[in-house]
Amino acid sequence: MDASGVTVFGSGFTPDGRYLACSDNFGQVGIWNMEYYLFQNSNWVHDNETKTEALETISTNSNLGAGVEKDFLLKAHKTPIYSIAVTENFLITGADEEIKGWKTPWMNQGSTSSNAKSDVDGGGNAVGKCLFELKTPQLEGLRGSLSPWAETNGIAVDEVTNTKYVFSAAGDGNAYCWDLETQKVLTTFSGHSDYLHCISLICQNGLIATGSEDGTCKLWDRRAKQNCVATLELDESPGREKVVTCTAADSEGNWLSFGGQDSKGFGRFRVIHVASRSLIQTSQTERHMSCVQTLDYSEGSGGETNLVCGGDSFDIEHWDKIGKKRIAKIRSSSPSNFTLCHSPKEKTNVMVAGGTSPFIDVSTVATRTHMFSFYFDFGLR
């Protein structure tokens, strides 16, 4: 396989910020020890510390001696992995036909799950420990026929309940809440008229947000079955079809952003105040970005929050938290970006962007400066 054909669809950090995981169109997950690379990178300077102080902090709290394993590869699926979620306990991957949960390099070896099994590559080599596998329900058609299993385009995890519940956005137009203890669907959220692209949790408000090809973002009360509490339009203007491809909520649950392509074919996102469901801001990206494909709220050590967006353009745009003012623009390595995520750990507060190239760009949150890029090729050689 040629690494130039890699597309990075998903990304996520462990809760402590030590590991970064990214998924690609070849069914692989690359995992990097971020502390190792930040320690090695001579250009890294923390927000309010000198380079020496920052490196001493990392060195004290990390095992970065000779022989440290810094790269891992998981051959997780035979199809593209469109979404991932990274937790303290495991890694969750969503692909064309199934969702899998994996034992990860940051966990102890061995599995306590009776359902655990080894996943193998074509050569019969164990490349990971699969802890569970979930299949999106098949829809029943005429004469009892069943639809194909729908792909999973978004995954969100409820860390408040110690990852007991997992939420997924599927290509059949439904969102699902899974109970991992029973490995069954607990709730189905139906109401969109088309394919789902994304899902976000707003834990403080008991809500989930979904974005669809039908041009809407819906808010659901996760505590009540089938309870859609709001339908938000990306664009009320008549015209060609609109699409919502991405959603993001800030860590305090005050703001929800959703974006995609408006009726005029331009990249657009909106920001609402979650508690009141009030529309706060509608913003359009620069003209060369015709669709917003990923959103993320980055939080600096000083307490400031920025909204970051990427789309079918090399540019990553940084806005204030309500999307009113564009603060900065960073050029990425990918002509189209599908995933953004930031490290939750203050000492390694970085932003990651990935898309239609084998490069995964790492930049500082504070100064919005490119630091280095990973090259997603070690599994393709």
More confident residue, 337 or 74: 337
- Domain assignment present for 31: no
- Region 272-282: mean pLDDT is 95
Other Cβ atoms within 10 Å of 184 Cβ, number: 11
- pLDDT higher than threshold 60 for residue 56: no
Burial classification of residue 354, based on how many CB atoms lie within 10 Å of its CB (0-12 exposed, 13-18 middle, 19 or more buried)? buried
User: In which element (H, E) is residue 142 found?
Assistant: none
Task: Give me the pLDDT at residue 226, please.
Answer: 63
Backbone dihedral angles phi then psi of residue 282, each to the nearest 5 degrees: -120, 125
More confident residue, 5 or 93: 93
- Region 313-342: mean pLDDT is 95
Sorted by sequence, the CB contacts under 8 Å of residue 356 that are 6+ apart come out as: 7, 334, 335, 336, 337, 338
- pLDDT higher than threshold 70 for residue 214: yes
Burial classification of residue 13, based on how many CB atoms lie within 10 Å of its CB (0-12 exposed, 13-18 middle, 19 or more buried)? buried
Task: Give me the pLDDT at residue 381, please.
Answer: 41
- Domain assignment present for 77: no
- Asked whether 71 and 31 are in contact (CB, 8 A), the reply is yes
Instruction: Give the Cα separation of 47 and 25 in Å (integer).
Output: 34
Residue 279 carries which side chain, given as an amino acid letter? L
> Whole-model pTM?
0.86
- Domain assignment present for 329: yes
Backbone dihedral angles phi then psi of residue 245, each to the nearest 5 degrees: -105, -15
For 170, half-sphere exposure in the C-beta direction (CA atoms, 13 angstrom radius) is 30
CA dihedral sign of residues 30, 35, 37, 43: positive
Instruction: Give the Cα separation of 255 and 322 in Å (integer).
Output: 7
- Region 215-230: mean pLDDT is 88
- Domain assignment present for 84: no
- Domain assignment present for 34: no
Other Cβ atoms within 10 Å of 273 Cβ, number: 14
- Domain assignment present for 36: no
Confidence band, pLDDT 50/70/90 cuts, at residue 224: confident
More confident residue, 218 or 348: 218
Confidence band, pLDDT 50/70/90 cuts, at residue 365: confident
CATH number of the domain at 334, please: 2.130.10.10
- pLDDT higher than threshold 50 for residue 329: yes
In the chain, what percentage of residues exceed pLDDT 90? 57
* Token output for 373: 């890029």
- pLDDT higher than threshold 50 for residue 67: no
- Mean pLDDT score of the chain: 83
- pLDDT higher than threshold 60 for residue 29: yes
Q: How many domains does the chain have?
A: 1
Sorted by sequence, the CB contacts under 8 Å of residue 90 that are 6+ apart come out as: 101, 102, 103, 104, 107, 131, 163
- Asked whether 251 and 299 are in contact (CB, 8 A), the reply is yes
Confidence band, pLDDT 50/70/90 cuts, at residue 195: very high
Backbone dihedral angles phi then psi of residue 201, each to the nearest 5 degrees: -100, 140
Instruction: Give the Cα separation of 6 and 8 in Å (integer).
Output: 6
* Token output for 176: 């699902």
- pLDDT higher than threshold 70 for residue 379: no
Instruction: Give the Cα separation of 354 and 310 in Å (integer).
Output: 9
Other Cβ atoms within 10 Å of 329 Cβ, number: 14
How many angstroms separate the first and last alpha carbons of the chain?
Answer: 7
The β-bridge partners of 130 are 102, 117
Alpha carbon 103 to its chain centroid, in Å, reads: 19
- Domain assignment present for 96: no
Confidence band, pLDDT 50/70/90 cuts, at residue 53: very low
CA angle 125, 128, 134 (to 5 degrees): 120
- pLDDT higher than threshold 80 for residue 222: yes
For 236, half-sphere exposure in the C-beta direction (CA atoms, 13 angstrom radius) is 5
Task: Give me the pLDDT at residue 143, please.
Answer: 65
Confidence band, pLDDT 50/70/90 cuts, at residue 116: very low
Alpha carbon 292 to its chain centroid, in Å, reads: 14
- pLDDT higher than threshold 90 for residue 192: yes
- Region 370-381: mean pLDDT is 74
Confidence band, pLDDT 50/70/90 cuts, at residue 193: very high
Burial classification of residue 12, based on how many CB atoms lie within 10 Å of its CB (0-12 exposed, 13-18 middle, 19 or more buried)? buried
Secondary structure of residue 346 in the 3-state scheme: helix
Burial classification of residue 18, based on how many CB atoms lie within 10 Å of its CB (0-12 exposed, 13-18 middle, 19 or more buried)? buried
- Domain assignment present for 175: yes
* Token output for 163: 């990852």
pLDDT, tens digit, for every residue of 228-271?
A: 999 999 988 776 789 999 999 998 999 999 999 999 899 999 99
> 163's torsion region: left (phi>0), alpha (psi -120 to 50) or beta?
left
Domain with 274, as residue range(s), is 3-9+115-375
